[in-house]
């Protein structure tokens, strides 16, 4: 397996963990459980950010730049509602 594929898989796994930890934090019934999930979430978010930055640095995670015209159109659409 190539490095790119390994990092993509790892990033997907960490994103899934972040989702689980977020819901655990939200649904926690005690302060201790809430704190444990929140700490795990923050650690996972840090790992996710490092993986993303590494992939972006290598050109393996490309993002599209939103066109200003599309942004303006959406702003108007939701401002009128």
Give 10-27 pLDDT, tens digit per residue: 999 999 999 999 999 999
CA 81 to chain centre: 29
Q: Retrieve residue 40's tokens.
A: 């795990």
Let me know: does 27 contact 68? Beta carbons within 8 Å: no
Residue corresponding to tokens 């444990």: 36
Is pTM beyond 0.95 here? no
Let me know: does 52 contact 11? Beta carbons within 8 Å: yes
Per the structure, the complete domain to which residue 34 belongs is given by 3-79
Query: Rounded to whole angstroms, how far apart are CA atoms 67 and 81?
Result: 22
Domain count, the chain: 1
Query: Rounded to whole angstroms, how far apart are CA atoms 74 and 56?
Result: 27
Residue ranges in the chain modelled with pLDDT below 50: none
């Amino acid at each position: 397996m190539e490095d790119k594929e390994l990092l993509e898989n790892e990033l997907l796994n960490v994103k899934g963990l972040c989702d689980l930890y977020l819901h655990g934090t939200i649904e926690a019934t005690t302060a201790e459980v809430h704190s444990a999930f929140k700490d795990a979430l923050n650690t996972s978010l840090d790992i996710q950010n490092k993986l993303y930055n590494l992939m972006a640095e290598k050109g393996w995670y490309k993002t599209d730049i939103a066109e200003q015209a599309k942004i303006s159109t959406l702003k108007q659409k939701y401002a009128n509602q």
